[in-house]
Amino acid sequence: MFLPQVIKSARVMKKAVAHLIPFMEEEKAAALAAGGPADERSDAGCFLIATVKGDVHDIGKNIVAVVLGCNNYRVIDMGVMCPWKDILDRAEAEKADIIGLSGLITPSLDEMVTVATEMKKRGMKQPLLVGGATTSRMHTAVKVAPQYANTVVHVLDASRAVPVCQALLDEKRREDFEADIREQYQELREDFYASLEDRKYLTLADARAKAPTVDWKLAANLPHKPALLGTR
């Protein structure tokens, strides 16, 4: 589907879930009244998502938020242009299970590295998900993941957000999933650094010596004179 249809479908899903929520809450209240556990969690988990500082793009982020909301996740959408401190403070205050970062422009990649670094300084344990047009598995593996002691996952698109979150919050699947991600990212890092070893760089003097020279005295190199100068 084209993007407008995807957004429209997501909005329909959101409205449908909003219609069902009162019935779900009523069913939960009835279960509590019948003697059910009072501390039973009604959602699948708390997911905090934000577009990082310096970036105002949010279409992909909004789709992810809606899709997760429709799958019973409590989504905290912080919007766009969010500084790392605001993101982490809110995640700690809300006791978020997972933190998601979105970005479209290249500077957002550096901001995601900053968020991961600050999460490590705070001793945070939540998995960190990154996504957006400029993000990639390679960048996540080489630049973001090494800055954080816990799990970092690149999510290719909104359709992958739900299965990734399910795997990270499932006690039976989480360990194997995280080990697989770490192994994949380690292989990507090794491939990246191996490719750097194959590169050969010239000194500045050698590079200048190889600069092209043009003999402007040759007829073939003379600039072409237009048939008309000015405007008609």
Could you tell me which residue, 232 or 221, shows the higher pLDDT? 221
Over the stretch 46-58, which tens digit does the pLDDT of each residue have?
999 999 999 998 8
User: Distance (Å, rounded) from C-alpha 58 to C-alpha 56?
Assistant: 6
Of the candidates 14, 47, 60, the residue with the CA atom closest to the CA atom of residue 157 = 60
| pLDDT over threshold 90, residue 143 | yes
What pLDDT does residue 3 have? 61
Instruction: Count Cα atoms within 13 angstroms, Cβ side, for 219.
Output: 0
Contact 102, 58 (CB under 8 A): yes
Contact 67, 11 (CB under 8 A): no
Full-model pTM:
0.77
Tokens matching residue 21: 């929520």
Active site residues: 55, 57, 108
What pLDDT does residue 7 have? 67
